[in-house]
Structure 1
Amino acid sequence: MGNDEFNVEDTLNQLTLPEKIKLLTGQGWWHTESIPRVGIQSMRLSDGPNGARGTRFFNGVPSSCLPASSGLGSSFDVELARKVGEALGDECRAKSVHVSLAPTVNIQRSPLGGRGFESFSEDPYLNGTIAAAYINGLQSKGVSSTIKHFVANDQEFERFSISSDVSERALREIYLKPFQIAIKESNPWALMSAYNRVNGLHVSENKRLLTDILRNEWGFKGTIISDWIGVYSTTGSIKAGLDLEMPGPSVMRGKAVERALIAQKLTIKDIDERVIKILELYKHAEASGIPFDGPEGFIDTPKQRQVLRTAAADTIVLLKNEKGLLPLSAQHSKKIAVIGPNAKYGTPSGGGSASLRSTYTVSPLEGITEAAKEIGAEVTYAIGATSHKYLPVLDPFIRNPQDGNPGALVQFWNAQPSDDFLADKVDNRKTLPKADWSTATYGTNCLMADGIDDTKVNTICWIRYSTKFIPDEDGDYDIGMSIAGSGNLYVDGQLTIDLRNSPPGGTFFGLGSPDVRTVLKGLKKNEEYALEVRIANKEFIERGPPFICWGGVRLGGIKQVDADAAIKEAVELAEKSDVAIVIVGLNGDWETEGNDRCDMELPGSTNRLVAEVLKANTSVVVVNQTGTPVRMPWVHEAHTLVQDFYGGNELGNGLADILFGKVNPSAKLSITFPKRLEDSPSYPSFSDKGQEAGKILYNEGIFVGYRGYEIRNLEPLFPFGHGLSYSDFEYSALEVSSVTSKGEFSVSFTVANKSTIDGREVVQVYITDPESTLPKAVKELKGFAKIALRANEHKTTKIELNRDALAYYDEQQGCWVAEKGVFRIAVGASLQDIRLKIETVLEETFTWRGL
């Protein structure tokens, strides 16, 4: 992958002080600074955990969307995680990306976390182990992984300022642990610091976390990159060990570093230490063979599609199959009703920086319809209910007025193009002066933070977004708009939505207006309606957005749905069908960076829809598509239930493969599903309801996730590690080796597939320390394996364990302790489905620090 000739020390010695300072900050949103004089070019960085978006939010190049990390964690499959990492690496190479801002390994502390779908698990061992495989796959392609967000960045509420107040023991055992495991097992070349404070001090200037623990104690050799606009000091961040401030232009470095050097608050040695780490990252980029300032393409090959399809299926959890309805068969499934708001509109990902423009998306309805053809079944569809927070984007139904191609035209003027630019009515016959710059765009959700030619467009400008909306059905339509800036929506020249004096809302990372809606009555199928959004951004810019942004527009729309009529239609469809598949859930509007959810409820009349369909037909499959848990008040009536995490491009085909038996389900929950929010261990100390004077108290300590349910003897809706198969597995012959003086031992057991169906079983090893000096969890996951077994086959598996399986962190001694005594070992199919038990003994206590 290129050469390895770049010499960090020689290059450092050639740099002048101003050049060194220049390297400490990024160049724009997605590049590092270049120093052509010494041959240093700009490295390219890109979001994110489920795909490489490239260098643009606005008009981004399409990319493969990978399954959400909460689904990948639920696969319990290290080989799959590595393959997903490799697929991401291939996509990064296609986009000339040297540094991928992934994976996210923050702990899923609450079901309400806005970015919960980005993380692998509530359990630190599973989280770190899957992350390590993912990183190894990504870096095998020469692309740097950036493990994030270090550390305790577990909520979106006041994320730039909130203090995560957590005990040292919980910090070590729960929140730092996945980073520690991944660093030990995969050596990520970069790490991203978190926005938040930990125990009062921002992570980006926390020397104890970034230098004492991360670098000195753990031996981390990589580069520390700030989260975007996540640096709040000059001297503090540099002294703490934060190497690269992103994005550029600099806010906290640059001239401020020069001033700090004059005052001798910083030394040349401080600067050199940071620059060396940036040059070491550059050395990886140089060796990768990935071009600098190269083109942005994408991967869409049969091989890539198969990886995506496999990943989509292998991240789906079968929660209930009490009547053996699944897999669907030709004999009993001639008429299939597909019902629900998440069926027709494919939701490949959650929102925020994880979102991207998918190369394609197979919706559940499309995947099921195609699979049904193979067994000669007929598929009919009804929406049943709506579940959107914001109205669905109009992308499939718009045409550029300039050339008739799908999309819209966006024009920019540096001076107000007319006195009546934001009038109560526009005359489309009146010609505006030629725009200073214009571009086509593909959709109706445009954050104009990049992708704009800033050599032609001033920061303060006037924007016109115009398109033709072509409905696919007759009827009245709900239309909604939010913008970043001040502006109006005109339909056929008539003022329809006025956002000229709107307060800030929640869109566009909090920069946008509220979402305002209206109704367009009597629209006709296949007729054209001129939509035009006009924006003036002067006041928006003067308010000082935290990053470069010219503005934004989001248009959504959907044919009006009467809740009662929609449910009635769905029930009637279910009644005359052999099988009803009800697909409900959330989407990237509900689960997104920037906002935590307010509750665990499914939106709108979704729960009512599910309940009514369950009454109408005895053969109902309920599919819940979310990144994190939701409440399921109808769960006891639902005998067949599937958890489908956001599945990426191939989400529809992956789901169909499970439902029709092409793939035997093998995933198991990486997060506990509570019966109600109040049962969550973090309740009520989470987000805005739990904040206390700018801080969140991690009151549950080490008892996060399943640890909290077990210590309180509280029954969840579905336990950690739960997931069913179409096969039946039997466990036997558990043995354990003696524990060495270094805490090393192994467990072995036999698993047999007692069915006639090939399958894969995730076996889980839990450790209990009943004699511990300090309180410990009832059981802790310390090992797992995914075993493929043909029909009637059995295999003996050995799982190696080490001192980490026995230890707790002692705050008083400041070290890890493996305490002598008896340890109980439980092997099972889930946290609650324990099949085998045995004991072993550690003869002598020992302690250690570091990895």
Structure 2
Amino acid sequence: MKHREIIEQLTLAEKAALMSGKSVWETKDFPEKGIPSVFLSDGPHGIRKQEGSGDHLGLNASVPATCFPTAATLANSWDPNLVEEVGVALGAEASSLGVHVVLGPGLNIKRNPLCGRNFEYYSEDPYQAGKMAAAMIRGLQSQGVAATPKHFAVNSQELRRMASDSVVDERTLREIYLTGFEIAVREGNPKAIMSAYNKINGIYANEDKRLLRDILRDEWGFTGFVVSDWGGSNDHVLGVENGSHLEMPGTTTVGQKELIVAVQSGRLSERVLDERVDELLQVVLELAAQEKRSIHPEGQHRLAQRAAAESIVLLKNDEQILPLKAEKTVAIIGEFAQNPRYQGAGSSLINARQVENTVDSIVDYSLTVVGYAQGYQRIDQPDETLVTEAIALAKQADTVLYYMGLDEISESEGLDRSHLNLPQNQLYLLGKLAAVHENIVVVLSAGSVVDMSWTQHVKAVIHGYLAGEAGARAMLDALTGIVNPSGKLSETYPVNLADVPSSKDFPAEGDYALYREGLYVGYRYFDTSKKAVHYPFGYGLSYTTFAYSDLLVHETGISVTVTNTGTCAGAEVVQLYVGKEDGAIFRPKKELKGFAKVYLEAGQSKEITISFDDKTFRYFNTLTNSFEVEGGVYQLYIGTSVSDIRLVAEVTQAATTDQLPDMAGLERYQSGQVDQVTDEEFARLLGRPVPVESWTIGQELRLNDPLLKLQYAKSGLARLIYKLLHHLLKKAEKKGKPDLNLLFLYNMPFRALAKMTGGMLDQQMVAAILVIVNGHFIKGVSQLWKAFRAKNSYQKQLS
């Protein structure tokens, strides 16, 4: 142990206390023993340090901070150098605010476009997500703070997120859901990592030894500490035993007691506890010794604007209506032009220091603006007066800039979406505008995929995603040609939601989320099955054009020449995909294995090199339990999107093993037609029977059932509590603003009550409450009283 001298001074109670926070955001300290406290804060795209008493979901205000573009936005830049620069700025701001640990970046795979938290994640592709996350981690940690990639792992939905079991086959787990984290850990070297709420194949992520020790620490070389998501510690003893260090938020003596009793009973070895304390102290002592950095708010804001500008995606530009011509008159329509939608909702909600909007900012641009009309209510409800005003204004201008997008209730932590549509009142207004005007430019704001069937009615679509506090000026720069859009989509836009293979049962409403589609997530499915999409992965237009030539294959990578064949400067994202047409091992037709962004003046050419790495040709072999390379010929595709391939070459690779998994009985996985996978075929892929839901209506509720199941409780009081909770959620929905604390409660399992009440309840008390919920009122109250007295007695012994 590196800190044996300190640990030998600690009592068992003190060591156990270090494994839980002392508050919502702070770790436990023992100053007299040389152990300081460090401060953790949300911060995927800004620092959310709360003032006064803290709470996980933002009930109390946070200090002003720079709001940078969200991860979904930055991913569209395809520029790790830019993301690292943003990370540096975030790290410096965290340090200046006294924050030691930044809870981000988020890099879960966008398995389905309905996930309410997709705006916080980078990509549907693990290679791209990993590269972006590693860059963010390097930037953050260059400023003396710790990054915390999350949520580790296979966390793909918000509904029942604390009580859901992600059932996934081993190969898909390693290739899709862990590869991004692997790249982030190996290339970013984070000092912390956050475990996910959910189970993975029956084991909670926060207590999964194979995940947290065998893979994360032993295989990838992780040397930091593992922190639970807030309230995500199921069995604290198992968590500590199997590789988790810090249970958050603070549970006062509840978690401490669990560890003490476990050591005293022999269930947990004190040697293992010492090991976890040593690993945690290694990071805590290093972070606490760092000097505070300072920032220049204006410099932060300018970087936020540049990051937003370089992430803008031009989706449509008929007749080159963009960039806007100075001599043309413009009408600005849409609520988002005055009050922008620039970030998501939930634990990442930033108290932005300096939010800009289009209506106020456009006066600084050489455009003739005839006026602004709100056009629609932010909440999705009809308003004919606003529609009439917007149509009248539109008729006065040569070009209509119509600001559309998802509202706050549409995408939020704790709430998955039920459809891909934009708000109906916005679409209604678009139809009315299209009937009277042919030159409509839609400026889109949303953190995730939306239905795009309406694009046939407009000349141009330009997408800023959730662009942060400086997004308005970044977009105006792109609209006027000061900036040439260079963003590319990091997720596929399907024609219909039903085309996504996981949509049949997403989000999973029962105990199990079945990942039937296996490897075929996002473009891997659409490209392999040859199903049409609206916009493919990697897609994005420019005000200029690019030509590809002179593809050369070297032993260590490829080189290709890119030429700007247009009339203005711009940046292109060169994408390398790899496939194997004659493989004995089923795989998607193409998989992203490299990319490079290059800036070129008009007429300029550059040779771009993309190197191969250990992930270029590998697949996970379930027989050897390791990544292997199948021998033979591979196709190398160079393109500007997964669907727009400009050059193709081949390369031969030697096999690393002659042991190949049996592909018999996996015909749909071999063809990619995974929208039709049967239970039998999924069981074959899993290597075990498909789990069957074990709870039915009328059955007694269990510790790991979510509170939303109170609607089925035997206790009338419990059912009444559910009705009140459901009523309050619907009331918040009608207001257009999600109530995050209610959503958290709705999806929280009973056992988490002992982790989220600041020590008011322990697991014995929760078990007694469950007895009451299951209709045994007198028995449950008696048990609750006994458990309460026992808890208080134990707390007095520790104090």
1:575 matched to which residue of 2? 395
Counterpart pick for 2:527 among 681, 685, 710 = 710
| CA RMSD, Structure 1 to Structure 2 (Å) | 1.8
| Equivalent residue number for residue 654 of structure 2 | 843
TM-score (norm: length of structure 1): 0.75
Give the letter aligned to residue 717 of structure 1. H
Q: Is 1:792 paired with 2:594?
A: no
Checking the alignment, whether the CA contact within 8 Å between 1:387 and 1:585 is kept in structure 2 is no
Candidates 4, 11, 18, aligned match of 1:9: 4
**Range with bigger deviation, 212-221 or 63-72:** 212-221
Task: Provide the C-alpha distance between the structure 1 equivalents of 2:360 and 2:409, rounded to a whole number of angstroms.
Answer: 22
Q: Is the 8 A contact 2:631 2:653 kept in 1?
A: yes
Distance 2:343 2:296 in 1: 18
| Equivalent runs, 1:321-360 vs 2, <5 Å | 321-331=317-327, 333=328, 335-360=329-354
Cα distance change, pair 370–39 in 1 and its aligned pair in 2 (3 A): farther
Q: Which residue of 2 aligns with 1:381?
A: 372
Which 10-residue stretch deviates more, 138-147 or 46-55? 46-55
1:622 to 2:442 alignment = yes
Q: Percent identity?
A: 38
SS in 1 for 2:69: coil
Answering whether residue 456 of structure 2 is matched by residue 636 of structure 1, we say yes
Distance 1:722 1:325 in 2: 19
Equivalent residue for 1:397? none
User: 2 CA distance for matches of 1:182 and 1:673?
Assistant: 26
Task: Tell me by how many angstroms 1:565 deviates.
Answer: 2.9
Return the alpha-carbon distance in structure 2 between the equivalents of residues 770 and 287 of structure 1.
54
The code of the aligned residue for 1:337 comes to: A
- Equivalent in the alignment of 1:724: 541
Q: What is residue 224 of structure 1 aligned with on the other side?
A: 226
Alignment of 1:583-732 (within 5 A): 583-687=403-507, 690-691=508-509, 693-732=510-549
- What is the match of residue 515 of structure 1? none
Instruction: Give 1:839 shift.
Output: 0.6
Determine whether 1:753 maps to 2:554.
Answer: no
Counterparts of 1:285 and 1:731, CA distance in 2:
47
Q: Deviations over 1:52-104 (max 9, x none)?
A: 01134313210111101111111100111001101111110121000000000
Q: Which amino acid aligns with 1:598?
A: S
User: By how many angstroms is 1:262 displaced?
Assistant: 1.4
CA distance in structure 2 between the partners assigned to 1:154 and 1:48 by the alignment: 20
Q: How much does 1:845 deviate?
A: 3.3
Cα separation, partners in 2 of 1:10 and 1:835, compared to 1, 3 Å: same
Unaligned runs of 5+ in 2: 52-57, 660-799
Q: 1:14-33 residue pairs with structure 2 within 5 A?
A: 14-33=9-28
- Distance in 1, matches of 2:651 and 2:68, equals 41
Contact 2:438 2:459 in 1 (8 A): no
Q: Distance in 2 between matches of 1:777 and 1:210?
A: 29
User: CA separation in 1, counterparts of 2:252 and 2:132?
Assistant: 35
Distance 1:786 1:370 in 2: 32
Structure 1 partner of 2:639: 828
Could you tell me which of 589, 613, 616 is aligned with 1:802? 613
SS at match of 1:711: helix
Q: Is the 8 A contact 2:547 2:563 kept in 1?
A: yes
Distance 1:791 1:623 in 2: 26
- Report if the CA contact (8 A) 1:107-1:154 is conserved: yes
Bigger shift: residues 776-785 or 199-208: 199-208
Inter-CA distance 795–846: structure 2 relative to 1 (3 Å threshold): farther
Deviation at 1:820, TM superposition (A): 0.8
Provide the residue aligned with 1:417 in structure 2. none
Pairs within 5 Å for 1:86-485: 86-250=88-252, 253-290=255-292, 299=295, 301-331=297-327, 333=328, 335-367=329-361, 369-371=362-364, 374-388=365-379
Q: 1:376 and 1:67, CA in 2 relative to 1: closer, same or farther beyond 3 A?
A: closer
Residues 820 and 843, structure 1, Cα contact 8 Å, conserved in 2: yes
SS of the residue corresponding to residue 571 of structure 2 reads strand
- Give deviations 1:368-409, integer Å, cap 9, x for gaps: x234xx3151241112222436xxxxxxxxxxxxxxxxxxxx
- TM-score using structure 2 length: 0.79
Quote the Cα distance in structure 1 between the aligned partners of 2:297 and 2:248: 33
Q: Is the 8 A contact 1:161 1:197 kept in 2?
A: yes
State the SS of the aligned residue for 2:127. helix
Q: Which amino acid aligns with 2:114?
A: L
**What secondary structure is seen at the aligned counterpart in 2 of 1:61?**
coil
Q: Tell me, what secondary structure is at the counterpart of 1:348?
A: coil
Q: Which residue of 1 aligns with 2:582?
A: 771
Asked whether the equivalents of residues 816 and 847 of structure 1 are also in contact (C-alpha less than 8 Å), the reply is no
- Which range is displaced more, 612-621 or 74-83? 612-621
Q: CA deviation at 1:299?
A: 4.8
> 586-595 vs 698-707, which deviates more?
586-595
Could you tell me how far 1:274 is from its partner in structure 2? 1.1
Check conservation: 1:98, 1:290, Cα contact below 8 A.
no
More helix by share: 2
Cα deviation digits, residues 198-248 of structure 1 (max 9, x gap)? 111111111111111111222211100000011011321111111000111
Q: Deviations over 1:468-503 (max 9, x none)?
A: xxxxxxxxxxxxxxxxxxxxxxxxxxxxxxxxxxxx
TM superposition shift of 1:566? 2.2
Q: Greater shift after overlay, 230-239 or 820-829?
A: 230-239
Q: 2:339 corresponds to which letter in structure 1?
A: Y
Distance 1:714 1:9 in 2: 59
Q: Determine if contact 1:817/1:847 at 8 Å carries over to the other structure.
A: no
Shift of the alpha carbon at 1:685? 2.6
Deviation, 1:758, is 1.1
AA aligned to 1:842 is Q
Task: Please give the alpha-carbon distance, in whole angstroms, between the structure 2 residues aligned to 1:721 and 1:701.
Answer: 21
Give the SS at the match of 1:100.
Answer: strand
SS of the residue corresponding to residue 385 of structure 2 reads helix
**Is the contact made by 2:322 and 2:479 (CA closer than 8 Å) also made in structure 1?**
yes
SS in 2 for 1:178: helix
Distance 1:29 1:781 in 2: 40
How much does 1:607 deviate?
1.3
Give the superposition deviation at 1:564. Answer: 2.8
- Supply the distance in 1 between the matched residues of 2:296 and 2:342 (Cα, whole angstroms): 16
With 96-105 and 573-582 compared, the bigger mean Cα shift is at 573-582
Query: Which one is further off, 232-241 or 655-664?
Result: 232-241
- The answer for the alignment partner of 2:677 in structure 1 is none
* Greater mean deviation of Cα atoms: 822-831 or 631-640: 631-640
Match of 1:736 in 2: 553
- Retained in 2: the 8 A contact 1:63–1:299? no
SS at structure 1 position matched to 2:286: helix
2 CA distance for matches of 1:575 and 1:40?
Answer: 68
The 1:326/1:251 distance shift into structure 2, 3 A limit, reads farther
The Cα shift of 1:302 comes to 2.6
Q: Distance in 2 between matches of 1:312 and 1:22?
A: 43
SS in 1 for 2:643: coil
Give the conservation status (yes or no) of the 8 Å contact 1:128–1:179. Answer: yes
**Alignment check: 8 A CA contact 1:623 1:644 kept:** yes
Q: Provide the secondary structure at the position in 1 that maps to 2:13.
A: helix
1: CA distance between counterparts of 2:254 and 2:190? 26
- Please name the residue that 2:30 is paired with: 35
Please give the secondary structure, in 1, of the residue aligned with 2:534: coil
1:73 and 1:120 in contact (8 A); partners too: yes
Q: What amino acid sits opposite 1:23 in the alignment?
A: L
